[in-house]
Amino acid sequence: MNIFRFAADLLHVFAIATLLLKIWNTRSCAGISGKSQILFGLVYVTRYLDLFTTYVSLYNSVMKVFFVVTSAVAIFLIYVQYKKTYEHDLDLFRIELLLLPCAMLSLVINHEDIVLEVLWTFSTYLESVAIIPQLFMVKKSGGIEKFMIRYLIAFGSYRAIYLINWAYRYIMESHYDLIAIFAGILQTIIYILGFFLLRGVKVVVSDKEEEP
């Protein structure tokens, strides 16, 4: 564990907390892509199956459980609790366009042909593109709320800082994982492209957000 990894993980937690608190406080999931949240749910579930097979540290296990649980909560809030506020007519990206290539690529390019490893690889590829439905939803709606800007910046910087962590680990520990590095670079590029795609989108303030 180094400072880059810890800082990145904190940003990851901050991003998720931003999203959940927004839904909770405004009792609305307007502007949030349920499809991206489903993809993130899949990412965490397929990656953290090693909770049952490998123990790394208490920190590691607690964070994994946190990501799986909060992701399930987000999906529950969007599709059950605050279903009426979910803007499904704006959340139109077809997730099979992301799921199928990631599934195929993880079967072809992985570290080892065993189920857990292929699922970990799938999860790593999928995470790099999971934000795309959210970016398209914002683009389609033409407006973005401030919480979503914070969410995207925090989520984008989390993986970018992981890139620094990987460079650091390569230098200090001669440790590297090409699949993680490749996907991390792709993920960071997608967030940067996303910010270009969204420039010109109007920053809106929702009525409910202004309530104390």
By CB under 8 A, tell whether 5 contacts another protein. Answer: yes
**What is the radius of gyration, based on Cα positions, of the chain?**
17
Q: Minimum distance from CB of 114 to another protein (Å)?
A: 9
Q: Decide whether 141 or 165 has the Cβ nearer to another protein.
A: 165
Q: List the alpha helices (DSSP H) in 84-145.
A: 96-108, 115-129, 132-141
Residue 171, CB half-sphere, CA atoms under 13 Å: how many?
A: 7
Stretch that binds another protein, among 47-55, 74-82, 96-104, 147-155 (CB under 8 A): 47-55
Amino acid at 6: F
Stretch that binds another protein, among 24-32, 96-104, 111-119, 128-136 (CB under 8 A): 111-119
Q: Decide whether 74 or 144 has the Cβ nearer to another protein.
A: 74
Q: Minimum distance from CB of 8 to another protein (Å)?
A: 8
CA-angle at 129, arms to 125 and 132, nearest 5° = 165
Eight-state DSSP code of residue 27: T
By CB under 8 A, tell whether 136 contacts another protein. Answer: no
Are residues 203 and 146 in contact, defined by beta-carbon separation less than 8 angstroms? yes
Q: Which of 177, 181, 185, 198 binds another protein (CB under 8 A)?
A: 177
By CB under 8 A, tell whether 180 contacts another protein. Answer: yes
Q: Closest Cα to residue 189, out of 143, 112, 135?
A: 135
| 8: its two tokens | 């990145």
By CB under 8 A, tell whether 185 contacts another protein. Answer: no
Beta partners for residue 204, in sequence order: 145
By CB under 8 A, tell whether 175 contacts another protein. Answer: yes
- Binding residues for another protein, rule: CB under 8 A, are 5, 9, 12, 47, 50, 54, 56, 60, 63-64, 67, 111-112, 117, 120, 162, 165, 175, 177, 180
